[in-house]
Amino acid sequence: MKVPKSNITPVTYDLIEKIRQWRNSPRIRENMLDDTMIEPLQQQQWFENLAKSKDKQYKVFHQESRPIGMLYFAEINDKSCSWGCYLGEEAVWPGTGILLSLAALDYAFNVLKVECLFAEVFETNLSPINMHKALGYSANPDKLVSTKGGKKVVLKCFEFQRPDWEIKKEIIFAKLPKQIRQAADFIVFN
């Protein structure tokens, strides 16, 4: 199986409609706190506000030059930030979710230079929960929150400290399948 080349770029105007379509898909919306449908004008406003934001960064994940998903960071300050991601396209290379997670850790600690990376996942979204555990995230106490639609949900909360990444990175990579290790070497941040 060919190992894909991936790059992560800032959101550009020409991709905001594709991102809106991804975000409005039931598969993505069901795992968002705000699960309302996004209208084109709202998406345009989001893009304009994103350009002015100091504490948010949204990135598009491409494989072989094809946009396939989002990687985003919020509440960015000099000490910490939170992150999330989703794959907008379903026909992607196996292991792409792990690649996004590894990219998030590298970006947070080596580009944003934060000391701690936080993540929150619905308790029903088992794949990312298992991935966070496998990558060595520490579990924090769960949170009970309300979605925009008023539904109560439990969020599993995780964190990863910079010193842990520096210590565990090689160990984590050694446990990954060879193809994923190779694919991780081909991730470029633009």
Question: What is the per-residue pLDDT for 148?
Answer: 67
CB 9, CB 59: distance < 8 Å = yes
Is domain 6-114+162-189 in CATH 3.40.630.30, yes or no? yes
User: How far apart, in whole angstroms, are the C-alpha atoms of residue 168 and residue 174?
Assistant: 10
The two three-digit tokens of residue 34, written as one number: 């705000």
User: How far apart, in whole angstroms, are the C-alpha atoms of residue 41 and residue 29?
Assistant: 18
Query: Pairing relation of β-strands 6-10 and 187-189?
Result: parallel
Average pLDDT over every residue of 5-20 = 95
Q: Of 7-21, 28-42, 74-88, where does mean pLDDT reach its minimum?
A: 28-42
User: How far apart, in whole angstroms, are the C-alpha atoms of residue 172 and residue 178?
Assistant: 12
User: How far apart, in whole angstroms, are the C-alpha atoms of residue 41 and residue 109?
Assistant: 34
User: What digits encode the pLDDT tens for the residues 16-57?
Assistant: 999 999 999 999 998 888 888 999 999 999 999 998 999 999
Is the entire prediction scored with pTM above 0.75?
yes
User: What digits encode the pLDDT tens for the residues 123-181?
Assistant: 999 999 999 999 999 999 999 988 767 778 899 999 999 999 989 899 999 988 999 98
Average pLDDT over every residue of 179-189 = 90
User: What digits encode the pLDDT tens for the residues 98-132?
Assistant: 999 999 999 999 999 999 999 999 999 999 999 99
The two three-digit tokens of residue 84, written as one number: 């999330």
Q: Flag whether pLDDT at 1 surpasses 70.
A: no
Q: Which residues contact 157 (CB under 8 A, 6 or more apart)?
A: 118, 119, 120, 139, 140, 141, 142, 143
